Amino acid sequence: QLCFALSILGNPTVMLWDEPSVGVDVRGQRCLWKAIQAAVRSKERAAVLSTHCLEEAAMCDRVAMLVAGQLRYIGSPEELRRKFGTSYHLEVKPKDAGQGDALNAEILHLFPHAARQERISSLLIYKIPMEDVLPLSQAFSKLEAAKQNLRLEEYSLSLHTLQQV
């Protein structure tokens, strides 16, 4: 944090940061990210940020991804999501862990192209293509009905994050 503070002293036009939030707790990360955004808000400043944290990369205007030392992608975080994040992430947790097979059949009935990604204890995780989910209002109506009929404890439907892409 001290190194970061020193890096923005004197209003430099170019700032270089290597993993600025490593070793910082979650609350500290949020403060640091706000400070980074404030520091680069000016059009007369530029920053280069290297990170493994995709949530941190999401605040950048442009992202370059290296895989085994090779440049594999360059563009905005939104373009990255559009290009590779063509699905939703569904998590469902039944009240009764023994109803996994029935729940899986119902999810496939509601969202025909759903693919179960993993099962963690009683939590089932699916990848659902955009065309199965749109419009969102219908997807949530289906899930609310399933919550009652299949006795779901909870569910979550979201776009894939940069980390998941």
User: What does each C-alpha distance from 119 to 4, 61, 97, 101, 111 come to in angstroms?
Assistant: 40, 35, 11, 12, 18
Prediction pTM value: 0.54
Q: Which CATH superfamily is domain 2-82 in?
A: P-loop containing nucleotide triphosphate hydrolases (3.40.50.300)
> Are the folds of 2-82 and 85-159 the same?
no
Query: What pLDDT was estimated at residue 116?
Result: 92
List per-block mean pLDDT (blocks of 10 residues) for the chain, which spans 165 residues: 85 91 90 88 85 83 88 86 78 85 88 89 88 85 87 86 60
What class, spelled out in words, does domain 85-159 have in CATH? Answer: alpha beta
- Burial string for 120-139 (b: 16+ CB within 10 Å, else e) reads eebebebbbeeebbeeeeeb
Query: What pLDDT was estimated at residue 18?
Result: 92
